[in-house]
Chains A and B, each alone.
Chain A
Amino acid sequence: MKPRTPIYGLMAEFDNPTDLVAATQRVHGYGYKKIDAYSPYPIEDLHEVMELHGTKLPLLVLCGGILGGLGGYLLQYWTSVVDYPIPIGGRPLHSWPSFIPITFETTVLGAALTAVLGMLALNGLPMPYHPVFNVSRFALASRDRFFLCIEASDPKFDYDATWHFLESLKPKTISEVPH
């Protein structure tokens, strides 16, 4: 039953979100750490049972916004006051109220770009190839099926024991995920 070449992991398939959340809770509670659940839409309970709290993204977005705002303001300050001053009737060169609208726009731009690029980078995307795509039934993960994968690199992973453990969760199918 054991494969000759090393595999990526074992994957169980469920046909409803409740079973997936319950199974993930048991797998996580049993002590498997290198696991991932796949669903066709975001399931908040899943984030809870996998203890996926505190992503760094909001902090990154805050930094992106601050950088965007500072960059926008300094650009206007430097061009209007230092590099290309246009004195008109003694009006102040550093007319900060008129710099606010553009500062606001560059703040939003910096934050929004960070939100999208940061989300993709933290998720490791783009990644056109991933071992889970080798399982033919996995195409249904973007339609109506729910998958749970225990990776072979987990210290607790043992092919037969893990297979039996997954079987005890009563999935629809269990598949091997080759590299």
Chain B
Amino acid sequence: MVKNSKVLAESGKAPILESGHTFGSVTDKISSFVLTHRTPRGWYIGFGIGFIGVMLLGQTLANLLLQGTGIWGVTNPVGWGFDIINFVWWIGIGHAGTLISAILLLLRQEWRTSINRFAEAMTLFAVACAAMYPLFHTGRPWLAFYWLFPYPNTMGIWPQFRSPLMWDVFAVSTYGIVSLLFWFVGLIPDLATLRDRTQKRVPRFIFGMLAMGWRGSARHWNRYETAYLLLAGLSTPLVLSVHTIVSLDFAVAVIPGWHATIFPPYFVAGAIFAGFAMVLILAIPIRRFYRLEDFITMRHLENMAKIILVTGLIVSYGYMMEVFFGWYSANPYEDFMIQNRMRGPYSSIYWLLIGCNVLAPQVFWLKSMRTSIPALFIVSVIVSFGMWFERFIIVVTSLHRDFLPSSWGMYYPTKWDFGMFFGTIGLFVALLFLFLRFLPMISIFEMRTILPQAEIKEAE
């Protein structure tokens, strides 16, 4: 693997780690963000902004539980509004983290090493935000357990396992647990490093307990690597299954625009597309603020731009096929659905979606755009908006005008819908800042393995 990075450096590509680093310098640099006594002022500002969102979320949820889901804009015929749009948007963002940590590991993409830890953290926080929506959409979450989780209850009833919504419960909870395990297993050796490097008693105790006595024994590493690879192998089909099952929530229904076999691959590609955009939105400021240009190099940013371009083309193909199916199916409802998307009351959002997701990523064909930090950041923000519009279009336009014109209606979100949306963004930001301050944001032990010094010289 070391040879590999050398070859790439010679071929004129940017390196995945700038030269001049040693085992010690990599360890000290990354652990210093956690072990420093001085919290940077920028951290307080960032966390503060996130915390305002957490307060907003608390108020929204309190009001929601007191008054019920009537405070949202959902009603007949649009029973799935912001709650499902935001659920799908958040869960999609999470997918990039698992893709980086599992699929790129199996494909031996060395460059993933410096971004996998915070991408995995992003996954966990995005799943936490996502899971909140369906849970509160049940109206009374404390009563929802008996039909969401199979446990022997006094009523003697069981959940309906034939429903895609039940599949979703299992997919999202499994995904959350496995992502947490993967993240934690990756953290164990780094927690041991922090335990050994901190000077203070309380942090040493906490890191020591979390590291569980990890001592870097060769016998342990042997099993550790096996477990890590197996987890990567298990996470790969899992991550594909999660958005597949989310798409089945729609595709199993008979609603025009939802009942399509293209949904699973189209949703998975969209998830990776949105997720990598979010990784870039996070990586660019973190890299600058913490001066991580040596570790997160232009090569990482450019590779992510390429993935955005590829997955953007796949979702564009999905949009094309939706139009094609509308015509080729010769089904008047399907045809009307697509006409309504393009020319109906929500057409401005449809065209925004096309502009954001189809046109904007095309600039990444140019190397100058893939290596320009402002361009990467702006396109990533545009793509994040675009993917949100996509979910809005899928959820709302299909529901608001289906088979019977007498039951048509319009959906308008209320301030509480926005309150919960901005609230979960705040929660995501706040959790991310806590993570940056208290845990190593880059995997230290994996960074050591890509150093040239890690190469074992042949015995003479």
Q: Which residues of A contact B (CB under 8 A)?
A: 16-18, 21-22, 24-25, 36-43, 45-47, 50, 52, 55, 57-58, 61, 65, 72, 75-76, 79-80, 83-84, 86, 95, 98-99, 101-102, 104-106, 108-109, 111-113, 115-116, 118-120, 122-123, 125-130, 132-133, 138-144
Contact = CB atoms under 8 A, between A and B. Distances in A.
A104 B239 CA distance: 12
B145 to A, nearest CB: 15
A125 B227 contact: no
B400 interface: no
Given A76-B161, A108-B178, A142-B192, A57 B217 contact: no
B223 A55 contact: yes
Interface string B219-234: 1111111110011001
8 closest cross-chain pairs (CB), A and B:
A144-B23, A126-B212, A119-B227, A79-B158, A127-B213, A42-B221, A139-B196, A101-B167
7 contacts: A45-B456, A55-B222, A57-B223, A105-B171, A141-B196, A142-B27, A142-B195
Interface stretch (B267-275, B341-349, B372-380, B446-454): B446-454
Nearest to A78: B158
B144 interface: no
Contacts of A80: 158, 161-162
Contacts of B160: 86
Interface string B167-199: 100110010011001101100010011011100
B174 A109 contact: yes
A102 B158 contact: no
B371 interface: no
The CB with the most chain A CB atoms within 10 A, among B185, B212, B221, is that of B221
B212 A43 contact: no
B212 A120 contact: yes
B216 interface: yes
Contact of B245 (A22, A101, A109): A101
By size class, the interface of chain B is 35 or more
Interface in B217-260: 217-227, 230-231, 234-235, 237-238, 241, 245, 248
Contacts of B222: 42, 47, 52, 55
B215 A116 contact: no
Contacts of B20: none
B459 interface: yes
Contacts of B218: 24, 36-39, 43, 46-47, 50, 52
Contact of A36 (B171, B219, B448): B219
A149 to B, nearest CB: 9
Given A123-B217, A140-B196, 13 more contacts: A41-B448, A42-B225, A42-B445, A57-B223, A79-B150, A80-B158, A111-B234, A112-B181, A116-B181, A119-B223, A133-B215, A142-B195, A143-B193
Interface string B416-445: 000000000000000000000000000001
A101 B243 CA distance: 12
B212 A128 contact: yes
